[in-house]
Every structure is written in C-alpha cells, then in structure tokens.
Amino acid sequence: MTTSVTIPTGGELGATASAVPVASVRTRTRWSQRVRPRRILLTVLAFAVSLAWVFPVYWMMNSSLLSNRTLQSFIPTFLPFGGSFANYENVLEDGSFFTALGISLSVTLIAVFFCLLFAFLAAVAISRFRFKGRKAFVLAVLIVQMLPAEGLFIAQYKMVSSVGLLNSVIGVSIIYTAAVVPFTVWMLRGFVAGIPADLEEAAMVDGLSRTQAFMRITFPLLAPGLVASGVFAFLQAWNEFTVALVLLPAEQMHTLPLWLRGFIQASATRETDWGQVMAASTLVAVPVIVFFLIVQGRMTSGLVSGAVKG
C-alpha cells in the first residue's frame, strides 16, 4: 500500500475504503443499539444536519429552475414545480458562457498537461533515486505548496505584465502550472513509491533494460495515480480565482469563476436576476462536482497521510 492511500476515507464512499474499518464501525454500532432512544435521536440529528448541509446546493438548482417572477415573491418557493430551463437559455444566449468556458478549458488543459509531465518526472526522481539535493528539493516542494496565492499575486501580476502576457492564456497557464506542480509531485511520489521496485528488478532479470522495465511494468501500474493527480490539478486550476482576477482583467478573457463573479458584481448597480445567477452557478458547479466525487477518497488521504505515518 502506498503511503498516500493508507487512510480509508469516507467509509463506504471512499475510493480506497477497505473492508476492515467498515466492519469495525458496525461492531461499534451494535454497542450503541442498546440505547435505543438516544440512537433514534442521533439518527434524526444526522438527517437534519444532512438536510442543512446540502440545502445551499439544492437551493442553487431549485432557484435556477424558477422564473424571476416566482423568485421576486417574498415567500420562497421550496420546490421547483412549474419550473423551466428558461434561465439556462437566457444565460447561454449571449455566448459569454462559451467564451469563458473556452478560456477556462485552454488554461486548465495546458496547465494540467505540463504539470503532470513535470511532476511525473520529478516524482520518479525523488521516489526511485537517492541523490544529492533530494532532501532540499522535497523540502522546497513542501514549502512552496503552502505559499498562498494571496502572498504572491501582486508580484506575479508585475512579472506577467512586464513581459506583455497580461490577458493571455500563456501567462496564467505558467503560473497555474507552477502553483499546482508541488502538490502533484507530492501526490505522485506516493503512487510511484507504492509500486515496488522489485517488480522492475524482476523484469530486468528477465532481460529488460531499466527504461523498458519502467515503461512496461511500472508505468501501466501508475496510470490510476496519474489520472487521480490529473483530476486534482484540473480541479485546482479550474476553480482558481485569485490569480485569474489579476492576470486576466479583460472581460473577454475571463475564466468561468470570473465570469460567474460578474453576475454578483452587476448586482451592486441593478436588480439581480437570481434565477439566471443560479443557473450560471449550476452550469459552473455540476461538472466540478462530478469530477470531484470521482477522486475525493484520495484527496483526504493525500493531505493527512503524514498524520498517520508520523
């Protein structure tokens, strides 16, 4: 087992959930069954909390289906009866969504591609080799990973604008790649280390060269790790707001988060069409939610793995 997947996250939901902890939870459940009324109370509480937590997500979708006239009423409409997709049609009408989608896609895909490539090479280096400067590199990666965008974006703005890359896909992509590489290196390192070098050696005994052994044995085993890391890099770049705000000031260069923010900004000067804003939010959120659900199990374990090993 690699270090990055040691924690079975989220019980049954986690991608890496193993049978043992689930079983252990059941045992504990049986104990508490003796205290019936308390258990019923807790179950009710669990459902109430679930409802409260999911409510904003539900409310976004509900409002997106209701007409502006329904939303104007002072009594909220809690179910989308009589709703329509008119808000979506209105949002998509002027084409600004597709422009933003295009910018978001190009920035994110460029960043993810280079990030995966660079991080993969670095991860192989630090998990398959011991060399001078290795520790310094690992430390640098961990520290850079913690640096907040809020502490660097003014300097990044100055640098990017001084080379004339303001409002260009390339400028943002470079910053995104650099911002996401550290976490990706760290995540891939766990995956590479999880594949025993013995496998490669066995292949080499059978006559393959070191490179051939790596490409034919280790690389295919690494594919899930690459996909998971790629999805993370994708989500981070896709949702990024701070750097995009300073590096892409021109409206026709806005990424999806900036495009969505435009709706709220406009609300300062005129009556907000909340149905449209919620339809726009849903368009931005749904693909992200789907991707996120695919990889979330590894997310938790990657971030806190140090705690369990230490």
Partner 1 sequence: MTETITRDVAATEPAKPRTPAGRRRFLSVPHLLLIPAILILLVGMGYPLVWQVITSMQEFGIKQQFGQPADFVGLQNYIDLATDPTMWQVVGRSLAFCFITATMTLVVGLLLAVLMTAVGRTARLTLQISLLLAWAMPVVAAMTVWIWLFDRRRGVVNYLLDMIPGVDMNRFSWLSNPLTFFIVASIIVIWMSVPFVAFSVYAGLTQVSDEVLEAAQLDGANGAKRLRYIIMPMIRPVIMIVLLLQLIWDLRVFTQITMLQDAGSKASEFDLLGTYIYKLGAGSQDFGMASAVSIFVLALTLAISWFYVRALLKEDEQS
Interactions with partner 1, residue window 97-156 (CB under 8 A): 114, 117-119, 121-122, 124-134, 137-140, 142-144, 146-156
Question: Within 231-260, which residues bind partner 1 (CB under 8 A)?
Answer: 238-239, 241-242, 245-246, 256-257, 260
Q: How far is the CB of 248 from partner 1 (least distance, A)?
A: 13
Instruction: Tell me how many residues contact partner 1 (CB under 8 A).
Output: 134
**Within 10 Å of residue 109's Cβ, how many Cβ atoms?**
14
Site string for partner 1, 276-305 (x = CB under 8 A): -xx-xxx-xx--xx--xx--x---xx-xxx
Q: How far is the CB of 122 from partner 1 (least distance, A)?
A: 4
- Give the Cα separation of 153 and 242 in Å (integer): 8
Buried b (16+ CB within 10 A) or exposed e, 154-179: eebbeebeeeebbbbbebbbbbbbbb
Among 116, 181, 228, 231, which residue interacts with partner 1 (rule: CB under 8 A)? 181
- Please report whether residue 165 would count as binding partner 1 according to CB under 8 A: no
**Which two structure tokens, joined as six digits, stand for 109?**
């895909």
- Please report whether residue 83 would count as binding partner 1 according to CB under 8 A: no
Q: Which residues contact 127 (CB under 8 A, 6 or more apart)?
A: 189, 192, 193
Question: Within 2-41, which residues bind partner 1 (CB under 8 A)?
Answer: 3, 7-14, 21-22, 24-25, 27-29, 32, 39
- Please report whether residue 221 would count as binding partner 1 according to CB under 8 A: no
Q: Closest CB to partner 1 among 63 and 229? A: 63
- Please report whether residue 211 would count as binding partner 1 according to CB under 8 A: yes
Q: For residue 219, which amino acid is it?
A: F
Q: Closest CB to partner 1 among 190 and 225? A: 190
- Please report whether residue 216 would count as binding partner 1 according to CB under 8 A: no
Q: Closest CB to partner 1 among 26 and 94? A: 26
- Give the Cα separation of 233 and 116 in Å (integer): 8
Q: Closest CB to partner 1 among 229 and 282? A: 282
State the Cα angle at 98 between 95 and 100, rounded to 5°: 110
Q: How far is the CB of 152 from partner 1 (least distance, A)?
A: 5
Among 209, 220, 223, 252, which residue interacts with partner 1 (rule: CB under 8 A)? 209
Q: Closest CB to partner 1 among 106 and 242? A: 242
- Give the Cα separation of 32 and 182 in Å (integer): 44
**Within 10 Å of residue 106's Cβ, how many Cβ atoms?**
15
Among 70-78, 86-94, 95-103, 221-229, the segment contacting partner 1 (CB under 8 A): 70-78
Q: Closest CB to partner 1 among 59 and 85? A: 59
- Please report whether residue 197 would count as binding partner 1 according to CB under 8 A: yes
Q: How far is the CB of 95 from partner 1 (least distance, A)?
A: 20
